[in-house]
Amino acid sequence: MSTTHATPFTLEQIGTGTARFPSGIPIPTHTDQMVDPYFKSKMPKEHQIDSLLFWPQQPGTYPGLVLLHDWWGLTGQMKDVGARLACEGYAVIIPNLYGRLGGMVTANDDMAAALQERQNDAHVITDINSCCEYLNTCHFVKKNIHGVVGYGMGGSYALRFACHRKRLRAAVSYYGKPVTPKELMKDLFSSVLYHQAGKDAWVTQDDVAQLRSASADYAKRVEMHLYPEAAHAFCNEMKPASYDPHDSALAWERTAIFLKSCFQGT
């Protein structure tokens, strides 16, 4: 399989921005604020999600993707991934999943593990769902035509979120931990692409076998690819010990093809 392909847009054609919006309550729109300039001040003081946006500048509407970072936080690598996904023809939002923990970024594995341990999964799922609702307020995003892509910790949340939001079209998990208990997979609503690192010390072979078994038991569309010699985080250029440029490129190619198939005709 070829590991390169032409993208619809170049980096020079991608717009960037930031967004801040409440989690778990209706997202205020431009119209809301025009009708009542004090609208925001009257809203409940919920947690505010800080996020980055990447989208094609060519006029039109695009499928929306929520990109979920690994346990190191919202790193420069994730920003690059967001821009690359936008080049594929998507409007991308990257929430800072550590917003409730000060929005930290770290290169230290022990610190990253401690941050992940402090996460409240229910809060994170609510934040991801609010990202989809925010995308619905953007004029350049197709309403309720959304997917989620996650790496490591974010890949675990991508799988869990795919069992939560009924209107989700696609979920891509790079070496994330499968959903447990597997009975939760009964509620999987979207198609799933899973990238498995063959030498992963974080996600066990039993974990992946459970994902495969659950997808068969509940007749869910889960496409799985094994990279036999790859370690966990094989797509992370900031981790030279585990980064594998060939497998990373191959996984990207498969992701691009998968997403295109999920959003075909939307």
Place of tokens 């981790």: 239
Region 198-209: mean pLDDT is 94
Q: Which structural domains are found in the chain, ordered by start?
A: 15-263 (3.40.50.1820)
Q: What is the pLDDT of residue 19?
A: 97
pLDDT of residue 37: 66
d(CA 17, CA 57): 12
Structure confidence at residue 212 as a pLDDT band (50, 70, 90): very high
Cα–Cα distance measured from residue 81 to residue 139, given in angstroms and rounded to the nearest whole number: 22
Average pLDDT over residues 40-58: 83
DSSP string covering the chain:
--S----SS-GGGEEEEEEEEESSSPPP-HHHHHH-TTHHHHS--PPEEEEEEEEE-SSS-EEEEEEE--TT-S-HHHHHHHHHHHHTT-EEEEE-TTGGGT----S-HHHHHHHHHT--HHHHHHHHHHHHHHHTT-TTEEEEEEEEEEETHHHHHHHHHHTT-TTEEEEEEESPPPPSSGGGGGG--SEEEEEEEEE-SSS-HHHHHHHHHHHHHTT--EEEEEEEEEETTTT-TT-TTT--HHHHHHHHHHHHHHHHHHHTT-
Average pLDDT value for residue range 138-146 = 97
Q: Tell me, what's the pLDDT at 93?
A: 99
What's residue 182's pLDDT?
85
pLDDT at 14 over 60: yes
User: What is residue 1's predicted lDDT score, i.e. its pLDDT?
Assistant: 39
pLDDT at 6: 72
Distance CA 107, CA 186 (A): 36
Average per-residue pLDDT for the chain: 93
Greater pLDDT, 13 or 180 = 13
Q: Are 64 and 91 in contact (CB under 8 A)?
A: yes
* 48-54: average pLDDT: 98
Mean pLDDT score, 177-199: 94
CA–CA dist 21, 32 (Å, integer)? 14
List of residues 6+ apart from 108 with CB closer than 8 A:
none
The pair of structure tokens assigned to 176 is: 């994330």
The answer to whether 136 and 143 are in contact (CB under 8 A) is yes
Q: How far apart are CA 92 and CA 108, in angstroms?
A: 27
Query: What is the mean pLDDT of the segment spanning 90-119?
Result: 96
